[in-house]
Structure 1
Amino acid sequence: MQGMNFKVNDFRGKTPYYILNSHDDFLTAHPEESTAIFKSDEDLKEIIEVTYAMNFNVNKFRGKTPYHIQNSHDDFLTAHPEESIATFESDGDTKGERAMFYVNRYSEYDSGNGLPVVFSCRVDNKNYLLSAASNSVSLKEGGLPSEIPTKTSEFIFYIIEFSTARNALRFESSAVQKFCLAWSVQDTKKMLVLNPYHEDAINERMSFFIEVPSNIPPPK
């Protein structure tokens, strides 16, 4: 049918959307008047663009709630600490704690252009941190650092908007400059790896979504 070519999965519920009319006016809510009107104010547009670019930079990531991390093929990041690796698997959501990662914010860290976080997981009552060093990615057993004062760390990643055209995120390593988490097929496995990031080239294998598992209430 004409006009019905959008995909339901395009709307994932975790990103705010802006509704524009044919004149590029923005739909703006006025609950005090129980109305919604379209506005074309340039000041409003500037605020909206800034808000959109930073919509993931919120207090939702506090390390208390586990998340599913999915790639653009809807595979789930799954921890294999016995091999010190993480892979993307289509049935990862059935792997329990192995597919649940905590996003721990480090607001005191010198973040530069993104939200600085440490990814961690718990498997068999042991804590593991996602590490990026020497162009490789691994899981290392250990507790969360109380602080990370240096400007580079194997554990710190910047959460950054993937692109202005996609409601997705990319994760840039602070230890290996201009390298981001990505997935690569190795021996039939979709391995979590580091790949160089280029501003002029869109690499969909660096595109990720962070979701709260359906059986866990979202963080407050």
Structure 2
Amino acid sequence: MEKSQLENICSLKEIKCEYLCLPTPAELECDALCKEKILHRVLRNINSQLLVVRPDLNLAAFEDVTDQEMQSGKGMHFSIHIYKTTTPLAGLPVAFSVQVENKSYYMCCEREGGEMIVRFKEGEVPKEIPGESNIIFFKKTFTSCSSTAFKFEYSLERGMFLAFQEEGYLRKLILKKLPKDEVDETMKMSLCNFSQ
């Protein structure tokens, strides 16, 4: 066999190998999060209070709400945006948004004065998130024997969860560090239909 024919066969084998060795679509999935579905719920704490967002006061707190107030839904009917993930062990990635007076607000966390603050900013939750994001929380069951109650871990700081903290008469929404192997009832939340 001539040298040029041999070179052509070798290069053809290389091309075939590259073609055959391409990754599968599953291997090509990146860490980007894509919105899969949206649930419409209210968030209740262990005291059966609802989370209410008041953007004008830059405040989100759990409050006692009448049935009539709940039906009006001002600042308490949440859209829970569920994203597909390639790392299911971390928990189900979700983002929260809420409508207040015909404006949409999304929940995010920001560092301020050395601590993490929960904020609601005007805007829409994106359909795709290319990498890490300050709006993503991992939904996890509260305990292994409580499948209807959840806790929400902040995706950018492991061990930090949504919780409430009493400030005077308010039960303000905060991010709180969970000591390892402890159960903290202030982090326990239920997702309920508007009528419940």
User: What is the TM-score of this pair, normalised by structure 1?
Assistant: 0.64
The letter for the 1-side match of 2:145 is: A
Give the number of equivalent residue pairs: 153
Paired position in structure 2 for 1:83: 57
Q: Which runs of 5+ in 1 are unaligned?
A: 1-60, 216-220
**Per-residue displacement from partner, 1:137-167 (whole Å, max 9, x unpaired)?**
01111111121121x3110000001111323
Q: Structure 1 residues 199 and 148, CA, compared in 2 at 3 Å: closer, same or farther? A: same
Paired position in structure 2 for 1:62: 37
Paired position in structure 2 for 1:104: 81
Contact 1:76 1:92 in 2 (8 A): no
Paired position in structure 2 for 1:54: none
Superposed counterparts of 1:174-193, under 5 Å = 174-193=155-174
Superposed counterparts of 1:139-218, under 5 Å = 139-150=120-131, 152-167=132-147, 168-214=149-195
Instruction: Please report how far the alpha carbon of residue 112 of structure 1 lies from its aligned counterpart in structure 2 after TM superposition.
Output: 4.5
- More contact order relative to length (CA 8 Å, sep ≥ 6): 2
More helix, by proportion: 2
Q: Structure 1 residues 77 and 92, CA, compared in 2 at 3 Å: closer, same or farther? A: farther
Q: Structure 1 residues 104 and 88, CA, compared in 2 at 3 Å: closer, same or farther? A: same
Superposed counterparts of 1:14-25, under 5 Å = none
The letter for the 2-side match of 1:141 is: E
Counterparts of 1:92 and 1:143 in 2: how far apart (Å)?
28
Secondary structure in 1 aligned to 2:74? Answer: helix
In the TM superposition, structure 1's runs of 4+ consecutive aligned residues that sit over 6 Å from their partners are none
Q: Structure 1 residues 180 and 188, CA, compared in 2 at 3 Å: closer, same or farther? A: same
Counterparts of 1:169 and 1:149 in 2: how far apart (Å)?
26
Paired position in structure 2 for 1:121: 98
The letter for the 2-side match of 1:166 is: S
**Per-residue displacement from partner, 1:196-219 (whole Å, max 9, x unpaired)?**
02232110000000011118xxxx
Larger radius of gyration: 2
Q: Structure 1 residues 111 and 130, CA, compared in 2 at 3 Å: closer, same or farther? A: farther
Paired-residue identity, %: 29
Instruction: Please report how far the alpha carbon of residue 176 of structure 1 lies from its aligned counterpart in structure 2 after TM superposition.
Output: 2.3
More strand, by proportion: 2
Q: Structure 1 residues 213 and 170, CA, compared in 2 at 3 Å: closer, same or farther? A: same
The CA RMSD over aligned residues, in Å, is 1.9
Counterparts of 2:86 and 2:97 in 1: how far apart (Å)?
17
Q: Which runs of 5+ in 2 are unaligned?
A: 1-35
Instruction: Please report how far the alpha carbon of residue 111 of structure 1 lies from its aligned counterpart in structure 2 after TM superposition.
Output: 5.4
